[in-house]
């Protein structure tokens, strides 16, 4: 299973350096990890947000891997023709996202990480008919590949600021959803380290 997550990172870092470093980190005991994930991107010419949650394990604070789920949070509308009538429809996207993340630089509160995830899910274009019932206009399976680089500054034991950039590549399996989904991604925001909060509360209770 670990080998599958290592394969996600190989295109982003030199293979020898990656395998040697991560091999050492994997000797450390794993710690559970849960985190929220919000990233900005574009759908066609519109700026959008994707929301998600990830759960996995982390070794030595440097290498982590797990599984997440992400979905399109920002409403995206498009005009379609239904029985000759212009109709407003909405785009929906959601996908499971196995991921791996490697911190190749750590010094004091600063970290530079390379998160990579693949997505397996689907998208659809839906609208409401004359009776107010939701109808599906188009549907497609989706395969995604999202490499990125993130700089993080941990200003508090349980929180930090992060900024990063990357790219999302999308392959469709069926219908055209009427939007361009392959686009740059960017990550800007506050990070809360929930596992550290729980661990700190348990230590305080003891």
Q: For the segment 160-203, what is each residue's pLDDT rounded down to a tens digit?
A: 899 999 999 999 998 889 999 999 999 988 887 766 777 767 66
Percent of the chain with pLDDT over 70: 86
pLDDT band at 104 (very low <50, low <70, confident <90, very high): confident
In the predicted model, is pLDDT for residue 51 greater than 90?
yes
Give the pLDDT score at 206: 57
Q: For residue range 6-39, what is the model confidence (pLDDT) as tens digits?
A: 555 555 555 556 667 777 888 889 988 888 889 9
Domain 2-92+102-173+183-205, what architecture? Beta Barrel (2.40)
Mean residue pLDDT of the chain comes to: 87
Residues composing the chain: 206
Give the pLDDT score at 102: 92
In the predicted model, is pLDDT for residue 52 greater than 60?
yes
Mean pLDDT, range 68-85, rounded to an integer: 94
CA-to-CA distance for 167 and 177, rounded, in angstroms?
Answer: 20
CA-to-CA distance for 136 and 127, rounded, in angstroms?
Answer: 7
Does this model's pTM top 0.75?
yes
Give the pLDDT score at 191: 80
Sorted by where each begins, the domain ranges of the chain are: 2-92+102-173+183-205
């Amino acid at each position: 299973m670990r080998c599958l997550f290592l394969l996600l990172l190989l295109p982003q870092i030199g293979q020898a350096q990656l395998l040697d470093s991560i091999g050492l980190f994997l000797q450390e005991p794993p710690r559970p990890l849960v985190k929220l994930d919000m990233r900005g991107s574009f759908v066609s010419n519109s700026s959008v947000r994707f929301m998600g949650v990830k759960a996995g394990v982390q070794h030595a604070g440097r290498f982590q891997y797990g599984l997440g789920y992400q979905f399109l949070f920002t409403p995206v509308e498009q005009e379609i023709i239904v029985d000759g009538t212009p109709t407003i429809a909405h785009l929906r996207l959601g996908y499971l996202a196995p991921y791996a993340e490697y911190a190749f630089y750590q010094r004091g509160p600063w970290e530079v990480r390379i998160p990579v995830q693949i997505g397996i899910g689907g998208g659809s274009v839906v609208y409401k008919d004359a009776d107010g019932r939701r109808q599906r206009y188009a549907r497609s399976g989706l395969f995604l590949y999202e490499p990125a680089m993130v700089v993080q500054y941990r200003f508090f034991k349980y929180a930090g600021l992060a900024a990063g950039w990357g790219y999302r590549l999308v392959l469709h399996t069926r219908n055209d959803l009427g939007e361009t989904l392959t686009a740059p991604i960017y990550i800007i925001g506050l990070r809360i380290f929930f596992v550290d909060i729980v661990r700190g509360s348990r230590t305080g209770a003891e």
